[in-house]
Amino acid sequence: MAKDYDVAIVGAGPAGIFASLELCNAGLDVLLLDKGGEIDARVCPVQNRSGCCALCSPCHLVSGFGGAGAFSDGKLTLSTQVGGRLKELVGFDQARALIDYVDSIYLKFGAPPKVYGMGENTAELEREAALAGLKLTPVKLRHLGTELCHETLKAMQNYLSSKLDIRLGTTIRNIVVDDGAVKAVETSNGESLSCRYLILAPGREGAEWLCNEAERLKLSLDSNPVDVGCRIEVPMPTMEKLTSTLYESKLEFYSRSFNDRVRTFCMCPGGEVIMESTGGSDPVITVNGIGYTQPRTKNTNFALLVSTTFTEPFHEPIAYGKYLARLANILSGGVLVQRLGDLMDGRRSTQARLQNNPIEPSLKAATPGDLSFALPYRYLKSIVEMLQAMDKLVPGVVSPYTLLYGIEVKFYSSQLKLTPCLETEIGNIFAAGDGAGVSRGLVQASASGIVAAREILKRLGKKSSPVT
């Protein structure tokens, strides 16, 4: 006979994990589900090789215990200013308290004590950025690195494994609602899993699924901006002025030509550019970056993302992002790479030019080509203008040898209409994390899972017990 659960959690990324940590000692029957595998089983078959993405289904880099963040470079951004809209949902004071609490849990499971972004020269860096036409937001940050991030998440998985049911390799097809409240979730093989409460935390990889389910259930949705751009690779010394103090430099710029917002994202000193398969049942190959506690390359990579808000009748940001990524896939078989000098000269990069390039590409599988065939002029123009502004702050960014990889797309879901406790318009269904449009990073995703879990505990008359 199938078990009736008090709480089911869809998605074992940071939002799902921290909801589980909050619930696991309260004497409840809790089920944590994810379509990917265990943390140790998540191995990309072509990473660090020259072969093209194998299009694993699901992709080991974005699905499984730990979520897509398991193979990021493990940045814990301890700020209410960036990384999501938690402050708008729960208020500044509660958001600040939640972030501090999340930080304490990560520390308990192995995060390092060192904090970036608190150096004496941050004010001077802000001033120099402003003179270059950039806004720099220094944030308190811990850096785990890809390897320590893996170990921290593994410790969380081990802690939870004896306290609740974890079912990995399980794809959820739909949500069952009756009389205005959740009743169950159904798996892709037709199994029905009953639950009194449901937390939807599918991450960016599950954003499209969540959006489709929301439309089927007639939940209100607001479109998020489309975040599309390139990953930039430069020599490590070029960025050391920023990375030695801040590690992650949150730079923002508004393009002169179009007034579009351009921002840096996921800066990886000594890291590698990687490709990953995202997009659920209709995957595309996109580009990302990872970093380590100790440099593995002589390069620093970071994303430049252009945020564009479209007007009616546009309401499919995920479909649009996938369309652009697919253009790059058609042109390259995966990921395109182009030297900045070639882009500015209006010519494609070639293997011969890359072989003589002083900056060695860390993604060996990238195909030399021309990004202008995949990215609209508006995006490329805004990216080039931001690079020119950054060059005033950190000279050397605008070099003919700088590498641009594409396409990088962030598949944030359309924003669900949520209460301050993150409940949807259907009773006892909560939504948390990046896939629900609540967060854009590990810390606020983790905090949002706690918000939903605490409300469930309150309704059940239970109290959470500290993680031991």
123 in any annotated domain: no
Tell me the C-alpha distance between 412 and 278, whole Å.
12
For 140, other C-beta atoms within 10 Å of its C-beta total 15
Q: Is the confidence at residue 258, as pLDDT, over 90?
A: yes
83 in any annotated domain: yes
What is the pLDDT at residue 50? Answer: 56
94 shares its domain with 36? yes
255 shares its domain with 365? yes
pLDDT > 70: percent of the chain: 95
What is the pLDDT at residue 305? Answer: 96
28 shares its domain with 85? yes
Calculate mean pLDDT across residues 171-183: 95
Residue 42, domain extent: 5-73+79-114+144-221+413-459
Tell me the C-alpha distance between 211 and 181, whole Å.
18
Tell me the C-alpha distance between 267 and 422, whole Å.
30
240 shares its domain with 381? yes
264 shares its domain with 185? no
Q: What is the value of pTM for the model shown?
A: 0.88
158 shares its domain with 287? no
382 shares its domain with 326? yes
Q: Is the confidence at residue 413, as pLDDT, over 60?
A: no
What is the pLDDT at residue 118? Answer: 77
pLDDT > 90: percent of the chain: 69
Beta strands in 237-360 (DSSP E): 251-254, 261-269, 272-278, 284-290, 299-308, 336-339
Tokens of 322: 């996938």
332 shares its domain with 250? yes
What is the pLDDT at residue 63? Answer: 84
Give the DSSP per-residue string, 32-87.
EEESS--GGG---TTTTSSSPP---SS-TTTSSTT-GGGGS--EEE--SSSSBSHH
357 shares its domain with 428? no
What is the pLDDT at residue 410? Answer: 82
| pLDDT level of residue 113 (50, 70, 90 thresholds) | very high
Residue 347 identity: R
| pLDDT level of residue 311 (50, 70, 90 thresholds) | low
Calculate mean pLDDT across residues 154-168: 95
261 in any annotated domain: yes
Strand pairing of 251-254 and 226-235? unpaired
333 shares its domain with 431? no
| pLDDT level of residue 440 (50, 70, 90 thresholds) | confident
What is the pLDDT at residue 279? Answer: 66
Q: Is the confidence at residue 310, as pLDDT, over 80?
A: no
61 shares its domain with 149? yes
Tell me the C-alpha distance between 462 and 454, whole Å.
9
Our count of domains for the chain comes to 2
Contact 53, 46 (CB under 8 A): yes
**What are 16-60's pLDDT values in tens digits?**
999 999 999 999 999 999 998 888 888 777 665 556 676 777 877
Q: Which of 279-293, 366-380, 411-425 has the highest mean pLDDT?
A: 366-380
**What are 273-291's pLDDT values in tens digits?**
999 887 666 789 999 998 8
| pLDDT level of residue 218 (50, 70, 90 thresholds) | very high
163: CATH: 3.50.50.60
Taking every pair of Cα atoms in the chain, the longest distance, rounded to a whole number of angstroms, is 67
